[in-house]
Every structure is written in C-alpha cells, then in structure tokens.
Structure 1
C-alpha cells in the first residue's frame, strides 16, 4: 500500500479544513475551529501565504495532511520548520502515513537549511508521543507554552 506525499493545492482546501475539524474534535476542542475555507485558502494560497500544506494519499484517497510554516531561531541564526498540524484519518493510522509526512517534512527542512523541525503534542496523547519518540523527537521538558489571545491580546495591544 503505497502512500504518496504531495504539496497541497487549492483544490485541497476543503479537505484540509475538514481534517482540521476532525483533529480539533480528537483534541477535545471542536468549537475552537473558527477558520473558513476562504481564510484557509488565503493562508495557504493567497498573495502572502502564512503556511504550507502537504497531503498524504493512498490509492488516490486523501488520508492525511501536515500544515507547517517557517519560524526562526536567533540562537542558530537559521530558519526552522514549525509543524502546526499533523493529521491522519483514523482508518489510515498505522499505515505509515504519519511517518511519511514527517519524513517528507524533515527532507524539506534539510533542503531549506533549517536548523530545527519542531511541533507541540498534547501531554495526554501518549500514542502520538510514543510515535514521535520512535522517529527521534525529544520533548522540550523545560519549556512551557505561553499564549495571549482574544480580549487579553487586545488589552496587551492597548486596544481593548
């Protein structure tokens, strides 16, 4: 069962957003997805794309995706790749699609002279954590995630 990884096209936007919604449901936050197809299209294929996406296919069926973008490390002086979402449909889990997406992204990182390839994983998602450790990922245990959004963001900006 061959898995093909390819860059997403504008025809994939609906599928990508569907995968994002499925991932949000799995992560116990289905109501958190406010993106629309138009927003996703603009973010991936607009005049100033914010991110890129890959699609995993098996027998012509889209079974997964990865959405990523560049970040930057002042310590290394190089770009990195930040994996925002990795998703494989439940029926295709265990098929190698997740590994194929990660391998493809690692290749992009190497080809683009990136110093790092990073992502988050929920601490309760032990299956994903075990998988990531098998491919060589290391947890960044000394770091915590900080976020400012919504009203707090507007207040911090002095606009709320």
Structure 2
C-alpha cells in the first residue's frame, strides 16, 4: 500500500479555475451554490492582481489537489495585532478523514503565529455538525456572544446613494 503524502502549497494564478471549482463545491455542500457569482476573472484579480485582497493555499494528497483554504488578514484594535480570517475551508468528500483539513488549519495557525497574529477566526453554519465537531476537536472556541451582520452589494449601494 502506497503512503499518502499530504502537502500544502500557495496557490498560483494557474490554480484560479481549481479554486473556483472548490468554491462551487463548498457552496453546493452548504446549499448555497445559487449565491456563487464569482468568475475566474474575479478571482484572478482578487487573489493574484496588483493588490491581492485574499490568499489561498491548496491541499494535495499525493500530488492531487483535494482541498483549499482561502484567508485574508484582519486587525484587532484590542490586541493591536493583525489576525487571519479563514473565509473558506474545503476538503473534497473522497479526501475527508485523511487529515487534510487539519493540515490546512495547522498550516494557517503556524503562519499566523509566526507572523505575530493575535488570533485566527472563521465562521461555520450552525447546522454543519461535522465541521463544528472538527473545530471543537482542535480546541477552537465558538464565539456565540457576537452576532454577525452583513451589508450585501444592494445594501452597500443603498447606503452609498
């Protein structure tokens, strides 16, 4: 039996289609595929343009891409330090249980610590019990005292007018 080798690497512009595919797979799992409007051009500009606003690492098993993590930096005024916000974490169904999800989280946690970040944060849908159990097993703490708010594109336009 051949040993499966887990690797994490930074995404490159040639991965744009792969990243979009993972985003769509995640959205489908979350029953939100109808909300995905991102295109490869959008991602190429946001991730690899002159002023990238987010970053992606690709998780591979024996050289085959099986998942990704998309993150960006935020800032805590209370800590006076940056942080990493994990926007998306996805592992292909066939690769779940392989340790790839944990490897992606550990990669970002090590990066955050090495860069002096004060914390790493993310959100999870309240019905996603497998992910909640996984995050609990890592020692992550739910932040249930905060209520998330969002202005969508239409709301931004309304306030801008």
Q: What's the CA shift for 1:150?
A: 2.8
What is the aligned residue count? 158
Q: What's the CA shift for 1:152?
A: 2.0
Counterpart CA distance in 1 for 2:145 and 2:159 is 26
Counterpart CA distance in 1 for 2:63 and 2:118 is 33
Per-residue Cα deviation, 1:100-153 (whole angstroms, up to 9, x for no partner)? 000000011011100010000000000000000101100001011101113222
Counterpart CA distance in 1 for 2:15 and 2:145 is 37
Counterpart for residue 37 of structure 1:
40
Alpha-carbon RMSD across the aligned residues, in angstroms, is 0.7
Q: What's the CA shift for 1:31?
A: 1.2
The match for 1:122 among 99, 122, 125 is: 125
Paired residues for 1:49-60 under 5 Å: 49-60=52-63
The match for 1:68 among 71, 80, 87 is: 71
Q: What's the CA shift for 1:85?
A: 0.3
Q: What's the CA shift for 1:29?
A: 0.9
Give secondary structure in 1 for the equivalent of 2:72. Answer: strand
Q: Which runs of 5+ in 2 are unaligned?
A: none
Counterpart for residue 10 of structure 2:
7
Give secondary structure in 1 for the equivalent of 2:121. Answer: strand
Give secondary structure in 2 for the equivalent of 1:49. Answer: coil
TM-score normalised by L of structure 2? 0.96
The match for 1:86 among 67, 86, 89 is: 89
Counterpart CA distance in 2 for 1:112 and 1:150 is 32
Counterpart CA distance in 2 for 1:96 and 1:61 is 14
Q: Which runs of 5+ in 1 are unaligned?
A: none
